[in-house]
Structures are given as C-alpha cells and as structure tokens.
C-alpha cells in the first residue's frame, strides 16, 4: 500500500507517504502537500490522486521523503482553522517519524497553492523551501513576510482557472522584498494542470531537496 490513511479526531483526514529503506542521518525530509479544490472531502484519499501523489508513485526513487497530504473538507479552503489543522498535523508527523527539522518543505497546487502562500506567510521561519503551483496570495503580505525564504513559484501562462497575473504580482513582491532566493517559472503554453510538469521535473526535485534551514 503506497499511502497510509489516517482520520485523527479533531484534525483533518490525511494520507502519508513513507519512503523505503533507512532514513539518512538527521532523519527523512518532510514535505507538506496541499491539494486543490477538486480533492476536498472526507475520505482521506482523494488528495493523493492529483499532483504530487501520482508523480511520486511513478518514480518513488526520486522522492526519498516523508510526504504529508491532509485533506480539506468540502466547502472549506486552506485558510483559518482548516489551515491551522494542517499545520498541527505537520508537527505531529514530525514527532512521530523523527523527520529532519532542517528539511521541511511546503508545496501545493491551485487552491493548495493559495494555501502555500498563506501558510508560508504565517510561519516563514518554519520551512526550508516553499513551492506554490498555480496559486495566488496577498502581494503585500508576501513582501512583508517572505523576504528570506527560498521559493520557487510555478504557473502556466495559458492557465484558464487562476490567472498567471497573480503569480507575476507575487514575483514582483518578492523582488521588492529583496529575496534573492526566489524563483518564478512561467510556462508559456501550460494550462492550469501545470503541476503534472512541475512535480516530474528532476531539476525541481533536486532544488527542493537541496534546500536546508541553517537555524532550527
């Protein structure tokens, strides 16, 4: 079974991917993945079927990480109490699986891309790197809070759901904040499902897993 499924009381249902073999010195890296609006629900499984989950199953050797995939309830968004519950799950998984506190990563797509910007702004010191995919956020908050966080933001210029102009505005905000570790890749022909390209890109995977916080 590639994913473990859990429904903890008071928190969100979630799926967990655990890599094979012994963890490296310092513990496995940990990725928090926030899904899009189409994967909301209560089964704890739907969020594994779009985006990061399929990419991992196609090539698990490329992802030597623990991956936490909480599920957002129907009608909710990655903000407020729901986002805080996802953050609480992150802390629990860290303790239970003794993951590497210097190598905690955040990524998500569409609605989850929005959630990435929100959570990173709330806890900018928490993540070694952040990778939103076709999301959006508050440029002022990003300018104020994310001047030092390694970020690689992705968007398709032909996105028919979330306009690429949102990501362009955030790239401008990061530049104005002086974030020299921020990157923005805009694919000229990709549509909303740009995540299918991003999560299979060896260059992106290498970049993400090479990031490490110097202070914990």
Do the Cβ atoms of 99 and 74 come closer than 8 Å?
no
Q: Given the structure tokens 């050797």, which residue do they identify?
A: 61
Widest CA span in the chain: 46
pTM above 0.85, yes or no: yes
With a cut of 50, which residues of the chain have pLDDT below it? Answer: none
Distance CA 38, CA 109 (A): 11
Distance CA 92, CA 102 (A): 16
pLDDT digits (tens, 9 = 90+) for 72-105: 999 999 999 999 999 999 999 999 999 999 999 9
pLDDT digits (tens, 9 = 90+) for 107-127: 999 999 999 999 999 999 999
pLDDT at 214: 82
Please give the CATH number for the structural domain made up of 3-210: 3.40.50.1820
- Give the total residue count for the chain: 216
Roughly what angle, to the nearest 10 degrees, separates helices 80-97 and 111-122? 70
Please name the helix (run of DSSP H) or strand (run of DSSP E) that holds residue 195, with its range, or none: helix 195-198
Distance CA 44, CA 199 (A): 21
Can you spell out the DSSP letters for 71-138? Answer: -PPTT--SSHHHHHHHHHHHHHHHHHHT--TT-EEEEEETHHHHHHHHHHHH-TTS-SEEEEES----
pLDDT at 215: 67
- State what percent of residues in the chain have pLDDT above 90: 96
pLDDT at 2: 87
Domain boundaries, the chain: 3-210
pLDDT at 103: 98
């Amino acid at each position: 079974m590639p994913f473990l499924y859990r429904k903890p009381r008071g928190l969100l249902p979630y799926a967990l991917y655990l890599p094979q073999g012994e963890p490296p010195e310092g513990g496995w890296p940990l990725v928090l993945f926030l899904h899009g609006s189409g994967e909301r629900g209560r089964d704890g499984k739907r969020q594994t079927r779009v985006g990061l989950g399929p990419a991992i199953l196609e090539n698990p050797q490329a992802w030597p990480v623990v991956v936490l995939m909480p599920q957002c309830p129907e009608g909710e968004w990655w903000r407020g109490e729901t986002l805080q519950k996802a953050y609480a799950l992150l802390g629990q998984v860290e303790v239970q699986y003794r993951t590497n506190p210097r190598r905690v990563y955040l990524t998500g797509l569409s609605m989850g891309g929005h959630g990435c910007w929100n959570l990173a702004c709330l806890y900018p010191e928490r993540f070694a790197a952040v990778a939103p995919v076709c999301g959006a956020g508050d440029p002022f908050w990003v300018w104020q809070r994310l001047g030092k966080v390694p970020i690689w933001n992705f968007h398709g210029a032909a996105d028919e759901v979330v306009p690429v102009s949102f990501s362009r505005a955030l790239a401008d905000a990061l530049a104005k904040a002086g974030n020299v570790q921020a990157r923005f890749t805009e694919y000229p022909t990709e549509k909303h499902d740009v995540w299918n390209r991003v999560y299979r890109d060896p260059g992106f995977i290498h970049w993400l897993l090479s990031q490490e916080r110097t202070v914990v």
